[in-house]
Amino acid sequence: MVNEDYFSVLHDFAVNREKILRRYNELLLSKINGFFALCNYVTGEYEYVSESIKDNLGYDVRNYTAEQLTEFAGKVIHEKHGGFMVKTFVPIFGEYVRKHATAETGIDFRFTICCKLRNIYGDYHWYLLDTAVVQADETGFPITTLITCTNIHYFKKDDCLHYSILRKNRDGVYEVVLEGVGNDEINEYNLTPREIQVINLIGQGYSNKKIAEKLVISVHTVQTHRKRIISKVKCQGTAELTNFAFSRGLL
């Protein structure tokens, strides 16, 4: 699963782009079922898509130009999901970053959204698109983003088009600062901000005691949160809860 250990290799992206892309590929794609892409956030063009997309969706895009990659991306994303991403979610993220990012913190932001991608056979599978800002301008606004696309089809529990915005805290850990859904026909779990914090820490492997220390609450309160979370999302244990949290971009 994607976490801050993977994103740590991206800090010097502007200095040595090709080397870092190769390193990211080595670190990430041996661990997940997916691929990644590089996007110019200002122009909206895709500048690079990793070769592992062929193993996932069946497409060979090695010789595509940026214009062809951008056109391809528009066709492979489910029409309704792509429309929501472009017209609604990207502006939400842009507005949030303009309000909260600075030149120093611009690359501390990520956003996630789960959507359906079409493979070469015409079948749609759910993917989590986890987007990290790797270059920002003098105001902190994104210039270049790296999008990690992970297949979550086999453990996604619903048809929720869920999104989240995450920001790195003082400890270097990404925390969810805003989340929501893009379709109103699905059953929402109504997780509270505190419950999301607890899920995030559970997914990172923290024990109840460590979670209590980190959130400055009692172990009993953590246990209560945990029981309520499991009841709400109808998971059978920590592993299933972690998969659920990952599929919604909460890790």
pLDDT, position 12: 64
pLDDT, position 53: 93
| Cα–Cα separations (whole angstroms), residue 188 to 52, 161, 238 | 33, 10, 20
> Which amino acid appears at position 82 of this protein?
G
Alpha-helix residue ranges (DSSP H) falling in 135-236:
193-203, 208-215, 219-233
How is residue 40 written in tokens?
Answer: 């110019």
d(CA 93, CA 190): 21
Ordered per-residue pLDDT tens for the chain, 251 residues:
455 555 555 666 666 777 777 777 777 666 778 898 999 988 989 999 988 899 999 999 999 999 999 999 999 999 989 999 988 998 999 999 999 999 889 999 999 998 999 999 999 999 999 999 988 999 999 999 999 999 988 878 778 888 889 998 887 778 888 888 876 544 467 778 788 888 878 877 888 998 888 888 999 998 998 888 888 877 777 777 877 777 776 76
pLDDT, position 2: 52
pLDDT, position 247: 73
Nearest residue to 10 (alpha-carbon basis) of 114, 128, 106: 106
pLDDT, position 185: 45
The helix (H) or strand (E) run that includes residue 201 is helix 193-203
How is residue 96 written in tokens?
Answer: 């949030």
Domains of the chain: 4-187 (3.30.450.20), 189-251 (1.10.10.10)
Q: Where are the beta strands (DSSP E) in the chain?
A: 34-40, 45-49, 109-118, 124-136, 142-151, 162-168, 174-181
Half-sphere exposure of residue 250, counting CA atoms within 13 Å on the CB side? 24
